[in-house]
Amino acid sequence: MLDCVIIGTGAAGVSAALTLKALNKNFIWLGNKDLSIKIRSAEKIKNFAGLPSVSGEEMKSAFLKQIKAEGIEITEGKVNGVYPADGGYSVMCGQQLYEGKTVILATGVEAVKPVKGEVEFLGRGVSYCAVCDGFLYKGKEIAVAIDSDEEESEVRLLAGYARTVHLFRLKKCSEIIGENIVNEEGVITEIKGGMRAGAVVCGGREIAVDGVFMLKQSVGADKLVHGLKAEGGHVVVDRACATNLAGIFAAGDITGRPYQYAKAVGEGNVAAYSVNAYLGGVGRA
């Protein structure tokens, strides 16, 4: 079992990984090898101590170079659930399972609010993960909502299974052209159903579907971890970045405002020290 699983490759994840490495801990770091969209897409950052007036791309390059120099690797993948395990937690990432004594949640803030019915039908026809659940919809009719162009490969994966993909955009994204992909106008305002999700509502229209995939860059962490305390879309943490669940820590935008790189880097560092203390080492006083 690993000492820690870090989830998320934004500024908080970078800082947590650097610090766990310095503390000689045994961890895996899940996310995007190209770091987070939030880092990459920033136009100009003028108040991050150490990197004077950088663009997001420059910050990304600086972080990636530093991580590489420290011999730290990123494992690509999207986490779809964190579950209690003997002596720690199991983190489900795509079809892989990783076990850690501790977890650092650094997945950022949910950019898009859940639509009506999304949380209610989660696991009953609503999924956040194409890789995990796509095969369940072979030959079926599905609705897929995306919030960035980066989800194209997941949409194509789903299109390979489904009869028809009704594609919705939660934010400004390009259309995705495919034989069985219908680029729908408007947004999903509700997911309806009985025991399972059975339809999406869009602009007064109802489209009957067998399943709904909400593919988002960041999903509210309280949906990934059962029993995690959250308020107003943020995970509740104390000054040590500890959540209400023993061994689970959170850092960065996920814990609340200000949504700033410096704050995220600070909390990633604190969370790593708290992991160290939790495992019996030096940490917070």
Quickly list H helices, 111-193. 130-133, 152-161
Q: Using CB under 8 A, which of 43, 69, 86, 172 touches a copy of itself? A: 69
CA separation, residue 223 to residues 6, 79, 123, 234 (Å): 17, 11, 11, 11
Residues 204-243 that bind a copy of itself (CB under 8 A): 232, 234, 237-239
Question: Nearest approach, Cβ of 73 to a copy of itself (angstroms)?
Answer: 16
- Structural contact between residues 240 and 104, judged by C-beta atoms closer than 8 angstroms: no
Residue 55, interface with a copy of itself (CB under 8 A)?
Answer: no
Residues whose CB falls within 8 Å of the CB of residue 202, separated by 6 or more in sequence, listed in order: 168, 184, 185, 186, 187, 188, 189
Q: Interface with a copy of itself includes 64 (CB under 8 A)? A: no
Sole binder of a copy of itself in the list 1, 62, 187, 279 (CB under 8 A): 62
Query: What is residue 121's three-state secondary structure?
Result: coil
- Token pair 């995306």 in the structure block, residue: 146
Q: Smallest distance from the beta carbon of 15 to a copy of itself, in angstroms? A: 5
Sign of CA dihedral 12, 18, 20, 23: negative
Q: Which helix (H) or strand (E) holds 284?
A: none
Q: Does residue number 52 form part of the binding site for a copy of itself (CB under 8 A)?
A: yes
Query: Considering only 110-118, 130-138, 213-221, 259-267, which stretch makes contact with a copy of itself by CB under 8 A?
Result: 259-267
Does position 29 bind a copy of itself by CB under 8 A? no
Report, in Å, the least distance between residue 122 CB and a copy of itself: 24
Sites for a copy of itself among residues 1-20 (CB under 8 A): 11, 14-15, 18-19
Our finding on whether 256 is near a copy of itself (CB under 8 A) is yes
Number of residues engaging a copy of itself in binding (CB under 8 A): 46
Preceding peptide of 258 cis, ω within 30°: yes
Report DSSP letters for 127-148, one per residue: ES-HHHHGGGGTT-EEEEEESS
Task: Kindly list the residues in this chain that would bind a copy of itself in the complex (CB under 8 A).
Answer: 11, 14-15, 18-19, 21-22, 46-53, 59, 62-63, 65-66, 69-70, 232, 234, 237-239, 255-258, 260, 262-270, 273, 282-285
